Structure 1
Amino acid sequence: MKKLILFWVIIMIGIPVNAQDYFKPIDSIIHHYKGRKTPGFSVLVSKNGKTLYHKHAGYANLKKEEKISDKTVFALASTSKQFTAACIVLLEKQGKLKFTDNLRHYIPEFPEYAEKITIDQLLHHTGGLKDYRALAMLRGENSDTYNAEAIKALLSVQELNSESGTQWSYSNSGYWCLVQIVEKVSGQAITTFAEENIFRPLKMTNTRYVIKPNNKVKKAAIGYQYDGNSYNSNDIDEFSVGGGSVYSTTKDLQKWLSEMETHRTFGTAFWTTMLTENPAKGKGFLYTKGLFHFKYNNHMMISHGGDLIGFHPITAYFPDDKVAVVILANDDDFERYTILDATVSQLLGEKYTYPKTEMPTEAKKKVIEEVITVPPALLESYTGNYELRSGYIIAITNERDLLKLTQLWDNVTAFIQPAKEVHHFTIGDISLTFGDFTKDKAMQLQIITSDENSVYKRTDKEPDLTLYTKYTGQFYNKALNATIVFFTENGILRYKWNDTISYIASPPESDDLFFTKHGKITFIKNETGTVTGFMLNHERALNMEFIKQ
């Protein structure tokens, strides 16, 4: 009889008894957290609704010395979008709205183009709205401080990124609009509607939407960012529910993913709408109702991640394998897909490749000196200044037989390591090659990264400190009601908002075209060649025209 019971348990679970062997990779990562006082993460894996693995690493609160546990509550950031979408789908199933309803019906303050934007398009990021978080950034502000009225006022004076229904473009604005629709149709705050219609039925007792100032969450993990010396906590809560705002635990989210598999509470019609109806197509993925669908190691995965300072969670369900994964973290340097690989690769029957152990700097230097020796005369042939564009110069110096690279425009430095091929060096995954030798001196330095292939030419001349002064001045955008100031410093073009910190405009790709932290900037000139403004294109806020004042 006991043998029969054991056999049935194995069939129900669907995996071998030595299941923990599948989780040796993630165990090895968690082991590294022992004895370290750092933020960390929690990971839960289930198959056929049964928990196979649930472990934690690091601290939820460093100041209070509270370790992450089963009860730790994490901010979900954009992982929350699936719950906002679920609220809309529930209202549709109740006959209180239609996916074909237009946005202006619910928010009449929006321009006429909102009459062509449907609820379905908002759900699938095809409505064409500019992202309000990006717009706030282009104002030099933080959208976390905006309430619903501020967001509405900002969006109501913007043009569309693209004609509604024509392009997929991720937009927190669309999901902010969906929250307004939920509240208008239901007559309840989304916090209450989601509690009564989603979280309570699924017994997700530690899950809720959180909005300032009512944001006191028990057992909440603090989000941390490392500055090179210590971990700093971050306030990430908002005054209005946009594309995020849900807090939850690994166990609660397991209940949600289990319902995604079984359909016990909300029924098949609800989940058919959530997961399969009218998906939007992106590059290599489908998007339905707050969820991405794409191939992960040849396995279909339904998932959504989130990104806030200190929080980078992910929920993932593999429908063909009946495997669900929840990964929650409170460290801004956390790489969720690295943890996902270590967690599920072997469980899904895929090979897991352990990362190479990084040697300490001194040991690495010793190995390099022993294996790859560069003659002093050759090292000297590389030293000097190399210019990409006027003012954008890299200095190569020899410090105790090690070459040091310094970007003179921002003083970023790094030691470059010799490779096996002569004249070749590396910095991590970056390749550097010296070439075009004249009189025992390299005349050029080629730098290749994952997204750049640039050739710097040796230069002995002083940079032209006036080259970019033609782009300086104050530039105003009416829709943002914001002014950006461009100025030069040591010949380098920089910009800022009023008295905020300044940012570098990277070396121009061509005349008048610069790439910046805030998007691509193309300066506009009149027939006499005088700069009259610029066009700023952020991937989530296109065609923002600024006029020179």
Structure 2
Amino acid sequence: MKKSTLFLFLLAISSFSFAQPEADTVARIEKIFSRYLPQNPGCQLSISRNGRVIFSKAWGMADLEHQIPLTTESIIESGSVSKQFTAAAILLLEQQGKVSLDDNIRKYFPEMPDYGTPITLRRMMHHSSGLRDWGSVAGIAGWPRTTKTYSNADALDIIIHQKALNHKPGDEFSYCNSNYNLFAILVERVSGLSLADFTRKYLFEPAGMTHTQWRDNFKRIVANRAIAYDKTPDGYETDMPNEYVYGNGGLLTTTGDLLKWNEYYWNGHFGSPSLLPKQLTIEVFNNGTTYPYAAGLYVTKNKGQDYVYHTGSTASYRAILIRYPQSNLSIAWLSNTAQFDGAPYNVVKEVENLFISDQSSKSEASKPDSPASTARKTTNPIPIESLPSFAGEYYSEEAQTTFSIFEKDGKLTLRQAPGVDLVLTPTDLDTFKAPATSRGLAGAILTFQRDKKNVNGFTVTVSRARNVSFLKKR
């Protein structure tokens, strides 16, 4: 009896040792995460291998005002890591026979403009719809996301005001939150359940994700929620996503729950039959080329292995969920601070290096540096005396805002809002660039248009919204 007990005890120790990382690996992880000081905002990290959690820990504070430490059960927002759950809801609706990925979005949103070519749910899922990002358009108007309490209804209102697309559907990959906000609304229109209720019933509960919900009401009390913080020269400031909009982001969760999701769908439990193949199917463009974006997931290669992941960033929350299928390894990381965005190394990459050896080919020669451009830079291509010709009041039905443009001190200036004047830098005869520090217009390109010789309007292009139109009022 004693021998049997001893055997079981030794077996348990052996199993535990096999499941856990070695002591030196744990020490290396601790060193990597030493930048998260106990008194500052922090993060969670959880790692699973072969279906077993082998490491899970939290560092730092969840709430600086009340001095509440961050734990592995603290609820943190996951940003665009959320998109895979919204995509999964659409895939499940298709399996239930309620939608088809080849449906035109106007079947469910007749209020959407007809752009002359169908925008399918498939194109939206893979970010090749051509739709402008509603948050970028709102930013042009001077109200970027989190500066107003936007809802999905607000997002829809901005989307339907767009008279043009960034590109023809299926021509290219252009990341766009509008696709996934529309999906959230679509789920409710088709199923009768909100995305929050639908995913709780069909995703979270079956996967055992007991700490997960959506931020569909940012005012709702969420037990154990970690507050997000931005680091300023004077210390920390709260930087929360005070908005109702969700589906593109807004998933409140823990790293432990994210690992449960990875195990759930990778082991073929999501859908009947398993929807895993559809979750991993990447986009094929009109010209036959592909881009490695599947159903809310990037599907690519890293260190010579298959690599499936998505990052997330909303306000000052940061996130990433990773899967190395061939190593049966999952890594989940959530943080309540943007403090280390510009740090010289990424903590998650450092962790990956501890568990995944580089198996990629070393034979490819390094590419030479691109030669420096010899193009002549024009410092002031527009004569000062011609600046008044650009002056006037301009209105955009698409951005639903008015800009004033005038000449001041020999420079063209754009008044985005009362007290917000932006000096525009000329880059060509009728093209100007907004300052990089602009609110919602950072680095925007303004291209003026003429009716014969007179300026009658301009377009604004930012990273996720191209050629938003402004017409001259006077």
* Contact 1:525–1:532, Cα closer than 8 Å, also in 2: yes
What whole-Å deviation, never above 9, does each CA across 1:287-321 have from its counterpart, x for those lacking one?
A: 11111112233332211111222112111111122
CA distance in 2, matches of 1:251, 1:498: 44
* Contact 2:127–2:173, Cα closer than 8 Å, also in 1: yes
What is the CA distance between 1:537 and its match in structure 2?
1.4
2:189 alignment counterpart: 184
User: Residues 177 and 205 of structure 1: is their aligned pair in 2 closer, same or farther, counting only changes over 3 Å?
Assistant: same
What is the TM-score normalised by the length of structure 2? 0.83
* Contact 2:104–2:119, Cα closer than 8 Å, also in 1: yes
Local SS of the residue matching 1:45: strand
User: Residues 284 and 82 of structure 1: is their aligned pair in 2 closer, same or farther, counting only changes over 3 Å?
Assistant: same
CA distance in 1, matches of 2:411, 2:32: 43
- The runs of 5 or more residues in structure 1 that have no matched partner are 352-449, 459-463
Q: Which amino acid aligns with 1:534?
A: F
* Contact 1:225–1:231, Cα closer than 8 Å, also in 2: yes
Q: Which amino acid aligns with 1:31?
A: S
1:88 alignment counterpart: 90
What is the CA distance between 1:132 and its match in structure 2?
0.7
CA distance in 1, matches of 2:373, 2:15: 54
Q: Which amino acid aligns with 2:152?
A: A
What is the CA distance between 1:478 and its match in structure 2?
2.1
* Contact 1:126–1:168, Cα closer than 8 Å, also in 2: yes
What is the CA distance between 1:137 and its match in structure 2?
0.8
Q: Which amino acid aligns with 1:27?
A: E
CA distance in 1, matches of 2:142, 2:248: 20
Local SS of the residue matching 1:326: strand
* Contact 1:471–1:531, Cα closer than 8 Å, also in 2: yes
Of 524, 535, 541, which aligns to 2:459? 535
- Please tell me whether residue 154 in structure 1 is matched to residue 78 in structure 2: no
Of 384, 395, 403, which aligns to 1:476? 395
What is the CA distance between 1:166 and its match in structure 2?
2.2
Q: How does 1:115-514 map to 2 (within 5 A)?
A: 116-144=118-146, 145-158=149-162, 159-212=164-217, 214-264=219-269, 266=271, 269-276=274-281, 285-335=291-341, 338-350=346-358, 468-505=387-424, 507-514=425-432
What is the TM-score normalised by the length of structure 1? 0.73
2:471 alignment counterpart: 547
User: Residues 214 and 292 of structure 1: is their aligned pair in 2 closer, same or farther, counting only changes over 3 Å?
Assistant: same
Q: Which amino acid aligns with 1:338?
A: N
What is the CA distance between 1:325 and its match in structure 2?
0.7
Local SS of the residue matching 1:260: helix
CA distance in 1, matches of 2:310, 2:156: 26
Local SS of the residue matching 1:204: coil
Which structure shows the higher strand fraction? Answer: 1
1:99 alignment counterpart: 101
- The runs of 5 or more residues in structure 2 that have no matched partner are 1-6, 360-370
User: Residues 213 and 332 of structure 1: is their aligned pair in 2 closer, same or farther, counting only changes over 3 Å?
Assistant: closer
* Contact 2:79–2:313, Cα closer than 8 Å, also in 1: yes
* Contact 1:211–1:237, Cα closer than 8 Å, also in 2: no
Local SS of the residue matching 1:110: coil
CA distance in 2, matches of 1:349, 1:45: 16
RMSD: 3.4
Instruction: Report the structure number with the largest CA radius of gyration.
Output: 1
Of 9, 21, 25, which aligns to 1:22? 25
What is the CA distance between 1:457 and its match in structure 2?
12
What is the CA distance between 1:279 and its match in structure 2?
5.9
Local SS of the residue matching 1:201: helix
* Contact 1:312–1:334, Cα closer than 8 Å, also in 2: no
Local SS of the residue matching 1:92: helix
CA distance in 2, matches of 1:96, 1:118: 15
User: Residues 513 and 485 of structure 1: is their aligned pair in 2 closer, same or farther, counting only changes over 3 Å?
Assistant: same
What is the CA distance between 1:100 and its match in structure 2?
1.4
* Contact 1:102–1:115, Cα closer than 8 Å, also in 2: no
- Say how many residue pairs are matched: 443
Q: Which amino acid aligns with 1:94?
A: Q
CA distance in 2, matches of 1:87, 1:457: 51
What is the CA distance between 1:42 and its match in structure 2?
1.2
Q: Which amino acid aligns with 1:508?
A: P
* Contact 1:25–1:342, Cα closer than 8 Å, also in 2: no
Q: Which amino acid aligns with 1:190?
A: L
User: Residues 185 and 153 of structure 1: is their aligned pair in 2 closer, same or farther, counting only changes over 3 Å?
Assistant: same
* Contact 1:467–1:491, Cα closer than 8 Å, also in 2: no
Local SS of the residue matching 2:266: helix
Q: Taking CA–CA contacts closer than 8 Å with sequence separation of 6 or more, which of the two structures ends up with the larger relative contact order?
A: 2
CA distance in 2, matches of 1:157, 1:10: 58
CA distance in 1, matches of 2:76, 2:160: 33
2:449 alignment counterpart: 524
Q: Which amino acid aligns with 1:125?
A: H
What whole-Å deviation, never above 9, does each CA across 1:199-230 have from its counterpart, x for those lacking one?
A: 11111111011223553211111111122112
Q: Which amino acid aligns with 1:543?
A: N
What is the CA distance between 1:272 and its match in structure 2?
1.2
User: Residues 123 and 33 of structure 1: is their aligned pair in 2 closer, same or farther, counting only changes over 3 Å?
Assistant: closer
Q: Which amino acid aligns with 2:35?
A: H
